A and B are shown apart, each in its own frame.
Chain A
Amino acid sequence: MGDDELKAIVEMAKKRDLGALSTLYETYFDRIYRYILVRVRNVADAEDLAGQVFLKMIERIETFKWPQTGGGFSAWLFKVAHNLIVDWARGAKKITTLPDQDLPGGLNPEAAVGRDESVREILAAMTCLKDEQRQILLLRLVGGLSSRETADVLGISEGNVRVLQYRALAKIKESLQVTANA
């Protein structure tokens, strides 16, 4: 979906056009769900939080304004998701790192992708990353956001995003090599 098309849909959604709201839902739900699932590591909570993201969108979309510079609507929606995850983690007293074993209450992401060893290894290696580095990789590779949008969600510069993602991937590669050698 192009920028102009997205702008037109968002403007209609602000006026509570149900068709425009459905279009936005279809465009972003899967990406939001994936991002939340990898962060919270629980399918039921991820489904619940993903639904809440769109309820928040209904409440706050009237106040949304296209920024002159920055991420736009995608960044705004992922920022809502990010804040909900932070509140959920604070409330549930859970950490956002990725433990190895399954959690009760639902499937973990590794199970959902068919116990892919490569994905499992990478998710395990991500535990050694800083929180900001981990979030950058998840927003970029799982959420499908650009560097500019990721910078907008986290409140940092685009250059900083590139540097952090480079260092994060370098660290994961190093960790995988160490694991392989071990």
Chain B
Amino acid sequence: MHKEQLLDNLIDGIIEGHPVEGDQPLAEVAARLARLSELRPRPEAKDDARRLMLAAAARKSRKRSRTWLGRKLTAVLASGMALTLATSGTVYAASNSLPGDLLYPVKEATENVELIFTPSGQARAEAQVRLARIRLAEIKALMRRKDKRRIGLLVSALNRRLALARAEGGLTPGEVRRIKAAADSLRTSTKRWLPPGLKRRLLKDKPPAPRLIRKSLPLTIDKSATQTPSGVAPDQQKPLGTPPAEGVAPNIKPAQPILAPKPRLLKPARHIIRSILRRRLRQKQAD
């Protein structure tokens, strides 16, 4: 073993209190130096230092728990207050906003939330009417700005609210008259600059038609149908377009059920259909 390692092992033994064995002069020097481990502190000094240490530890634990709890409480309260203030302040600021403003979505969201908590029936119908009036007021405000695009959106929203109010059964004839009168006055005042389509849509009795392309529904004769109660055979039936005789149920069945409202075809589609019909008519006439 290396001499340094050997001496190190001997010193470990000296620290543990084992005597030095054999002729180990360096270990003997180390053993003499190790007698300094007999030094002891004064008991009063040791007790004072212990007391100070424990007091510092107790103080730190109290401070730590209070700070932790205080921080948590403060964070919760502050965030709650901030949320409340922000919400109420935002909602208040949004109440006067118009489409295109930053807070308008907040206004719409608030209205939707209000409707969710309104019980269905008369109360909700009244809420819908109130919202329709708000839309009308917004239209008036936007007209001062001459914002055509957003007025169009508002008109759709207004019609939607009226339709919902009607569906809830809460739109009285008086309400309808009043809202129509307001719309009429708007129409006359904006005669010059509102596009014609928008003016027509303004408070029509039905919501704007969805922009769908739907083919016209051909009527087909159900050849597999049984004989009519009158006993007339299917091949002896009168041609299409002839009103059925009284008491005879027409055995004309549409291919698909007719849905209401009737979809309004786009111009290109109507044009195509008209041209097809004209061509067939010409063919028939030629035949």
Chain A residues at the B interface, C-beta cutoff of 8 Å: 16, 18, 21-22, 25, 29-31, 33-34, 37-38, 43, 46-47, 50-51, 54-55, 57-59, 109, 112-113, 116, 118-119, 122, 137, 140-142, 144, 146-147, 159, 161-163, 165-166, 169-170, 172-173, 176
Q: Is the interface of B mostly helix, strand, loop or mixed?
A: helix
Q: Is the CB of A112 within 8 A of B25?
A: no
B145 within 8 A of A: no
Which stretch in B28-36, B121-129, B130-138 binds the other chain?
B28-36
Residue from the list B26, B29, B33, B49 in contact with A54, Cβ < 8 A: B49
* A34 vs B39: C-alpha distance when bound (angstroms): 6
Q: Is the CB of B57 within 8 A of A141?
A: no
Report chain B residues within 8 Å CB of A170.
26
Q: Is the CB of B34 within 8 A of A141?
A: yes
B248 within 8 A of A: no
Q: Is the CB of B52 within 8 A of A169?
A: no
Chain B residues at the A interface, C-beta cutoff of 8 Å: 3-5, 7-8, 11-12, 14-15, 25-26, 29-30, 32-42, 45-46, 48-50, 52-54, 56-58, 60-61, 64
Q: What residue of chain A has the Cβ atom nearest to residue B26's Cβ? A: A169
Report chain A residues within 8 Å CB of B32.
118-119, 122
Q: Is the CB of B26 within 8 A of A22?
A: no
Q: Is the CB of B57 within 8 A of A58?
A: yes
What would be 7 A-B contacts, judged by CB atoms less than 8 Å apart?
A: A46-B41, A59-B60, A109-B39, A118-B35, A137-B33, A141-B33, A162-B5
Report chain B residues within 8 Å CB of A119.
32-33, 35-36
- Whole-angstrom distance between the Cβ of A60 and the nearest chain B Cβ: 11
